[in-house]
Chains A and B, each alone.
Chain A
Amino acid sequence: MKYRTIEHSADIGIEVEACSLEELFAGAATGMLSLIVDPATVAPEAPRDVTLDAGDLEELMFKWLNELLYLLGAEGLLPSRIQVHRVEELRIEASVWGEPAEAGRHQALEEIKAATYHDMRVEHREDGWFARIIFDV
């Protein structure tokens, strides 16, 4: 799995390539989180389980990334390690490790407001899976 940030005039995006859907969703989450904070500064404390369903893969990606932003916004949970157990039949089952965000100790690299549908891609290509997500910053 590999991800890279991509240029957008006002916002920011990532592109992810992976061999499996599980890797793709884990990579998108890792890519997004690396925009928010340096993961090395976050301790992977007791995991949270996340299960989500959707009508298509793009919606599943939209819900998955925004779920992580919800955990950060509502509960202050800053994830540092992601494990995607299964992506099957438009359902994702994952575990998220992290710790409460602390303004003094964790430096924000970027405030991501949301993952958007704009120009989103979640597709199978000849050499594996590909995703592109643009964030509202």
Chain B
Amino acid sequence: MFDPGGCGMEGLKRVSEYKWEMPIGFKPGMRVPGTIFADEELVELAGRDRALEQVANVASLPGIVSRSLAMPDIHWGYGFPIGGVAAFSSDGVVSPGGVGFDISCGVRLVKTNLTEGDVLPGLADLLAAIAATVPRGLGSRGPIHSPEAVLRNVFRGGAKAVVGMGYGREGDLEHAERGGVYEGANPDAVSARAYERGKDQLGTLGSGNHFLEVQVVEKVIRGEVAREFGLFEGQVTVMIHSGSRGVGHQVCTDYLQVMDRVVKRTGIELPDRQLACAPLGSQEAVEYMGAMACAGNYAVSNRQALMHWVRRAFERHFNSPESRLGMDLLFDVSHNTARMETHEVEGRRLDVCVHRKGATASFPAGHPEVPAAYASTGQPVIIPGDMGTHSYVLAGSHEAMKESFGSTCHGAGRTMSRTKAKKTIDGAELRARLKSRGILVVAGTDALLAEEAPEAYKDVTRVVDVCEGAGLSRKVAMLRPMGVIKG
């Protein structure tokens, strides 16, 4: 039997209700301490497998600034823990393993002016219309064929490029991180193989934990912010969770091998080969950052195209243009990224490379990267829950800038392995159970459905409550799923 080898919580020190310190020496090689934002139950869960060890591994990377951080949805990943955040100074490194294979995987939330009562009677038909429009599942190809010239444009221009191709409207770009475009993209740093993988996957959902959900705003928690966000109780929204598809997977695969050679050449000592990295400013690091930005732009473009299909399906179903259905984008966030940002560290302003592996930016009101529409509220943070409970809209906070390099959680976080979920949960029974609670599901197979069962995930409410308690973000609204489409 494979032993996940959890190192337990031994050695962690509770410094406040939602904050645990991992001292240097928790594991040999740590250069800085770690901080885990969690309550007792969440930190205990993290101690059962190797997630805490991974926090310590990240703390051993060269040039890490201040602390190795873990958000409350921390769980065992490959390389960085999922929920891991780390910033590196100019004498530090960038690590493709700190971003992951699904570069810029993320979530967007589309608003409507429809209420639950408007949508419920025809919900099954609406889901079928969306499912028929959105390519998903094994080997799925999208209708946007993208030869190299088109891909170069998308790699450079992100969502702006696909809006220019007719998949969306200008207003969408004002409601995405950095206008839907990653700066610093270098299409020449992307391999021919990544171009090949990207040519037919734009506007495809993928599979696994990616999904489309028709939801209803069940509860507004902060009325004033919700009003600024344009959210009200009873309102129907659509959540889209997908990433950079094969482009991101290939960019990460390619650059892991490049970084592996750098590690051998420079003698950087690593506790895990997946943490292979290169010094910031080195040719390899610059090229990776340029290629990663291309994959980031592909991911945002993918979600933009997916939103376009969803709008078309709503238009057909309600026989009305999407603009009259109020289908405005609330926001688009990415939760697998590494970016150069300016942060205040021990009283000094520093340019650092912030890695967020399963963590979301949580920038406050007045932050230069927050779009004008949210200048007074802070950025919207979109947290997908599991399909049986809730998702949340949060807002960025000033405290996050002090505590977590402007970061918060990204979801509920798994607590049960996929193999165990498949063995112990009956997908057909789950489908029926969700239906009895008013949640319709369109999914590829029962096995895939079982893997994503609510009981395989931590309680998302507990996770966002800890984020709020620790000051990393503020709760704005809770969303309940009505219909779920899985890849």
**B332 CB, min distance to chain A CBs, angstroms:** 21
**A4 CB, min distance to chain B CBs, angstroms:** 8
The B-contacting residues of A in range 81-110, CB under 8 angstroms, are 100-103, 106-110
Q: Please tell me if A128 contacts chain B, counting CB pairs below 8 Å.
A: no
Whether A10 pairs with B77 at a CB distance below 8 angstroms is yes
A70 vs B253: C-alpha distance when bound (angstroms) = 10
Whether A70 pairs with B193 at a CB distance below 8 angstroms is yes
Whether B250 pairs with A70 at a CB distance below 8 angstroms is yes
Given A8-B4, A74-B196, A36 contacting B79 (CB threshold 8 A): no
The B-contacting residues of A in range 29-86, CB under 8 angstroms, are 36-37, 55, 58-59, 62-63, 66, 69-70, 72-76, 78
**CB-CB < 8 A to B77: which residues of A?**
10-11, 118
Whether A74 pairs with B246 at a CB distance below 8 angstroms is yes
Identity of the chain A residue whose Cβ is nearest the Cβ of B210 in the assembled complex: A111
- B249-264: CB near A (< 8 Å → 1, else 0) gives 1101100110010001
Identify which of B139, B206, B447 contacts A102 (C-beta below 8 A): B139
Q: Please tell me if A12 contacts chain B, counting CB pairs below 8 Å.
A: yes
Whether A117 pairs with B256 at a CB distance below 8 angstroms is yes
Q: Please tell me if B140 contacts chain A, counting CB pairs below 8 Å.
A: yes
**CB-CB < 8 A to A62: which residues of B?**
256-257
Q: Please tell me if B82 contacts chain A, counting CB pairs below 8 Å.
A: yes
Q: Please tell me if A19 contacts chain B, counting CB pairs below 8 Å.
A: no
Whether B75 pairs with A73 at a CB distance below 8 angstroms is no
Given A73-B197, A110-B418, A10 contacting B444 (CB threshold 8 A): no
Whether A69 pairs with B419 at a CB distance below 8 angstroms is no
Given A70-B197, A137-B208, A100 contacting B139 (CB threshold 8 A): yes
A78 vs B137: C-alpha distance when bound (angstroms) = 13
Whether A118 pairs with B420 at a CB distance below 8 angstroms is no
A10 vs B340: C-alpha distance when bound (angstroms) = 28
Whether B272 pairs with A119 at a CB distance below 8 angstroms is yes
Q: Please tell me if A7 contacts chain B, counting CB pairs below 8 Å.
A: yes
**A71 CB, min distance to chain B CBs, angstroms:** 10
**CB-CB < 8 A to B79: which residues of A?**
116-118
Identify which of B76, B78, B136, B257 contacts A59 (C-beta below 8 A): B257
Whether B419 pairs with A7 at a CB distance below 8 angstroms is yes
**Range, interface on chain B:** 35 or more
**CB-CB < 8 A to B206: which residues of A?**
111
Given A7-B419, A117-B273, A136 contacting B78 (CB threshold 8 A): yes
Whether A113 pairs with B249 at a CB distance below 8 angstroms is yes
Whether B2 pairs with A107 at a CB distance below 8 angstroms is no
**CB-CB < 8 A to B386: which residues of A?**
none
Identity of the chain B residue whose Cβ is nearest the Cβ of A36 in the assembled complex: B138
Identity of the chain A residue whose Cβ is nearest the Cβ of B416 in the assembled complex: A9
Identity of the chain A residue whose Cβ is nearest the Cβ of B208 in the assembled complex: A111
**CB-CB < 8 A to A76: which residues of B?**
139, 141
**B15 CB, min distance to chain A CBs, angstroms:** 25
Whether A8 pairs with B246 at a CB distance below 8 angstroms is no
A30 vs B199: C-alpha distance when bound (angstroms) = 27
Whether A72 pairs with B139 at a CB distance below 8 angstroms is yes
**CB-CB < 8 A to B197: which residues of A?**
70, 73-74
Whether A9 pairs with B445 at a CB distance below 8 angstroms is no
Given A117-B272, A120-B273, A9 contacting B78 (CB threshold 8 A): no
Interface-centre pick from A15, A100, A137 (highest chain B CB count, 10 A)? A137
Given A100-B139, A103-B140, A108-B445, A13 contacting B246 (CB threshold 8 A): no
**CB-CB < 8 A to A70: which residues of B?**
193, 197, 250, 253
Q: Please tell me if A134 contacts chain B, counting CB pairs below 8 Å.
A: yes
A75 vs B274: C-alpha distance when bound (angstroms) = 27
Whether B419 pairs with A116 at a CB distance below 8 angstroms is no
Given A8-B76, A74-B193, A76-B139, A59 contacting B260 (CB threshold 8 A): yes
- Sampled A-B contacts (12; CB under 8 Å): A9-B414, A10-B77, A12-B417, A15-B2, A102-B139, A108-B137, A108-B444, A108-B445, A117-B274, A118-B77, A118-B97, A118-B274
**Apart from A75-B196, A136-B249: 7 A-B pairs, beta carbons within 8 A:** A7-B4, A10-B75, A37-B138, A73-B250, A110-B207, A116-B79, A117-B260
Give the A-binding residues of B (Cβ under 8 A).
Answer: 2, 4, 49, 51, 75-79, 82, 97, 100-102, 135-141, 193, 196-197, 201, 206-208, 246, 249-250, 252-253, 256-257, 260, 264, 272-274, 276, 414-420, 444-445, 447-448, 451, 487
